[in-house]
Amino acid sequence: MTIRVLNGGLLTTVQDLGRYGAQKYGVIASGAMDAYSLRVANLLVGNQENEGALEITLWGTSLSFERECMIAITGGDLLAVLDGEKAPTWRPLLVRKGSVLQFKSPVKGCRAYVAIAGGIAVPEVMGSKSTYLRAGIGGFRGRALQKNDVLMCGKSNQSNLSLWNALSKSDEDVPWAVNYEALVSLKQEQLIRVIRGTDFDRFDTKSQTAFFSQPYHVTTHADRMGYRMEGTALSLAAPDELLSEGVTKGTVQVPPSGQPIILMADRQTTGGYPKIGQIISADLSTMAQLQPKAKVHFQEISLEAAERELLRKEQVIHEIKMGIRFKELYS
Amino acid sequence: MSHSFTEIDIKPLGDSALIVQLGEGITPSIHQKVRALSTILEAQPFKGFIESVPAFHNITVYYDPVAVQQNQSKYGERTDRLLTSFEAVCQEINKLLEQVDERKEAEARLIEIPVLYGGEYGPDLEAVAAFHHVSAEEVIQIHTQNECLVYMIGFAPGFPFMGGMDERIATPRRENPRLAIAPGSVGIAGKQTGVYPLETPGGWQIIGRTPLELFRPDSFPPTLLQAGDRVRFVSMSSEEYKAYKERKR
């Protein structure tokens, strides 16, 4: 036994970077909402970056460690408390046997990630540990974590062990943490960068202008499947029935109500609503950290600039990897 | 290269996917092109290719722009500047399109789907019959008569978007959608017919149920049906339905 769930909170699931290769069969991609935070959490404990970790939503989750573990907490600041004290985040952490980790309430952001050295030992389904709630597959028994569930961690590899070793020698005081702000922002008013969608030209001029100039708010209908937004209603220049086709994470589609929906990790594989925009990949983590009521300004950028932003953030991840490798080797 | 591929249009779906448009509308000949490109993409994936989703008249191709870029800087042809990942993927797809021979018909599987029509499992069969002023037996006879073509899978795992149902039994959706439709339910919505793989809410007219499992997460492919399959519905008795369920147990 490794981790016992004392409280499953609002929604706690096992996620990795997603299930790919079966979208053509209608199997959704799933995966972490905030992929950068998941990757960094895994790297901080010496895991492969696509290892399964826990995704915790807003509040209520409480975990008890039944043996000593090395973990890392990243993502949104949900006021993580370890044995009564504020837990350090964005760095590796040794937790003693019997420790209790609680997520009290969202201070900044919406989702936190807890990675465990060795990963979470759940079977892979179609190559992924991500939980697919609606189909009841993947993750921990295909469902959200509940009170008294017991999670086992996987076998430690050499990286896990050397980081663990380095950490135990340093009197538990790690003088470093990852500066996450270059990857994800937790502010609740955001500029989100968008490329024109494949159906942008079908919208009337007023809607095209409004989408990129008026603010939109996240509604309470915002979950792993998608974010329903509220703001100036958008309409097509002429009514049109579109055929279903592939969609992806960050697709901004507009149903007949005129209020945009942003598709997120648990989106269906295909959709038939017109797509006005597409959030750039580099900004998806920031989008995933928005809570209901958050204010968003969509800003148009070119495809070329979007690619540059993505490569720039990939360079940040690369530097984090190098930094951790250095700690592993020379601590 | 078959010249009918020259009029394709590639549009970016953000920075990590693109849509290859292969025509307009729902026709078997456009579907043939979609299948041809889909097959060659799977057989000769370019560096950075993740997966593709075929639809009625286009294919969405998902790729990792970072891997595409890294591959380019390693092996890219020497030009004034590096291509963007989107441009590089377009080039790869155009190369594949040159090799496609769409005259060669892809082999289509014929899948028979046994259905127990009417009764508890097909609560809307009588309503569909009444709508068209025919008997329930005639609806079953018409529904089992034509072969349908699976154009694409979407909405839910293994859910087929099919064409080819006899329009004599085309029926509008129910005014009050049901909150839960059992897996295996066979329904009609407008000119479409389909089968529900998972329990979902829905407004289709439910005329029967199949004991077959459409979604099989423990096998690969994880679904009974795939794009390109031909489907024939076959009427089964409640004894046969029960016997099938018993055998599965």
Q: Of the candidates A135, A248, A303, which has its C-beta nearest B217's C-beta?
A: A135
Assess whether B71 and B179 both reside in one domain.
no
Which of A17, A20, A23, A24 to mutate to test binding with chain B, by most B CBs within 10 Å of its CB?
Answer: A24
Q: What residues of chain A lie within 8 A of the CB of B228, using their CB?
A: none
For residue A304, give how far its alpha carbon lies from the nearest alpha carbon of chain B (Å).
Answer: 7
Residue of B nearest to A195 (CA): B14
* Residue A53: C-alpha distances to residues A108, A161, A284, B78 (Å): 20, 18, 18, 42
- The parent domain of residue B33 ranges over 3-99
* A120 DSSP 8-state letter: B
Q: Are residues B197 and B244 in the same domain?
A: yes
Contact check, Cβ <8 Å, A243/B26: yes
For the record, the structure tokens of B162 come out as 């099919």
Tell me whether residues A245 and B60 touch, CB distance under 8 A. yes
Q: What residues of chain B lie within 8 A of the CB of A137, using their CB?
A: 217
- Report yes or no: B19 at the A interface, CB cutoff 8 Å: yes
Residues whose CB is less than 8 angstroms from the CB of residue B3 and which lie 6 or more positions away in sequence, other chains included: none
- Assess whether B81 and B37 both reside in one domain: yes
Of the residues B99, B133, B161, the one at which a domain ends = B99
The mean pLDDT of B211-240, rounded to a whole number, is 95
Give percent above pLDDT 90 in chain A.
Answer: 89
Tell me: do B33 and B135 sit in the same domain: no
Residue among A17, A32, A52, A19 at smallest CA distance from A140: A52
Instruction: Enumerate the residues of chain B whose CB falls inside 8 A of the CB of residue A139.
Output: none
* Count of domains observed in chain B: 2
In 10 A of CB A189, how many CB atoms?
Answer: 11
CA nearest to A140, candidates A118, A160, A125: A125
**ipTM computed for the complex:** 0.96
How near does any CA of chain A get to the CA of B136, in Å? 31
At B196, the pLDDT band (50, 70, 90 cuts) reads: very high
pLDDT of residue A245: 95
Residue B129, min C-alpha distance to chain A (Å): 28
Q: Which of B49, B76, B99 is the last residue of a domain?
A: B99
Mean pLDDT in residue range B185-194? 93
Residues 6 or more apart whose CB falls under 8 angstroms from that of A16 comprise A31, A32, A38, A50, A51, A52, A53, A128, A129, A130
Does residue B126 sit in the same domain as residue B243? yes
Cβ A26–B158 below 8 Å, yes or no?
yes
Which pLDDT score is estimated for B77? Answer: 57
pLDDT at B66 over 60: yes
B121 shares a domain with B175: yes
Q: Are residues B78 and B131 in the same domain?
A: no
Residues B88 and B139 in one domain: no
Q: Which residue does chain B place closest to A311, by CA atoms?
A: B66
Chain A residues with beta carbon closer than 8 angstroms to that of B53:
23-24, 245-246, 269-270
Give the pLDDT band (50/70/90) at residue B248.
confident
What does residue A258 show for φ and ψ, rounded to 5 degrees? 90, -5
pLDDT tens for residues B115-124? 999 999 999 9
CATH label of the domain that carries residue B42:
3.30.1360.40
By Cβ distance, the residue of B19, B66, B197 closest to A245 is B19
Please indicate, yes or no, whether residues B77 and B122 belong to a single structural domain of this protein: no
Q: Are residues B48 and B147 located together in one domain of the fold?
A: no
Closest CA to A98 of A61, A147, A65: A65
Whether B73 is in a domain gets the answer yes
Please tell me whether residues B44 and B93 are part of one structural domain.
yes
Q: What pLDDT score does B108 carry? A: 86
pLDDT score for B143: 97
**CB of B226 within 8 Å of any CB in chain A?**
yes
- Disruptive mutation site among A125, A143, A245 for chain B (greatest number of B CBs within 10 Å): A245
Banded model confidence at residue B74, pLDDT cuts 50, 70, 90 = low
Per the prediction, chain B carries an average pLDDT of 91
Using N-to-C axis directions, what is the helix angle for B65-75 and A303-330, rounded to 10°?
A: 80
Q: Please measure the distance between the N-terminal and C-terminal CA atoms of chain B and give it in whole angstroms.
A: 51
Let me know how long chain A is. Answer: 331
In chain B, how long is the greatest CA-to-CA distance?
Answer: 72
- Residue B2 pLDDT class (50, 70, 90 cuts): very low
Q: Which tens digit of pLDDT belongs to each residue from A247-265?
A: 999 999 999 999 999 999 9
Weakly modelled stretches of chain A, pLDDT under 50 = none
CATH of the domain at B197: 2.40.100.10
Spell out the domains of chain A, with CATH numbers in brackets.
Answer: 3-172 (no CATH), 189-300 (2.40.100.10)
Task: Please indicate, yes or no, whether residues B49 and B155 belong to a single structural domain of this protein.
Answer: no
- Smallest CA-to-CA distance from A298 within A188, A227, A195, A206 is with A195
Instruction: Say whether B228 sits in a helix, a strand or coil.
Output: coil
In a domain, B104, yes or no: no
Considering CB atoms only, which of B19, B217, B218 is closest to A246? B19
Amino acid occupying residue A43: L
In a domain? residue B105: no
Mean pLDDT of chain A: 95
Q: Is the pLDDT of residue B1 over 70?
A: no
State the pLDDT confidence band at B238, using cuts at 50, 70 and 90.
Answer: very high
Which residue of A lies nearest to B223 if distances are taken between CA atoms?
A25
Residue identified by tokens 């932003």 is A309
Residue B162 lies in a domain: yes
SS3 A210: helix
Please give the Cα distance from B176 to A37 (Å, whole number): 43
Domain boundary residue, one of B76, B99, B122: B99
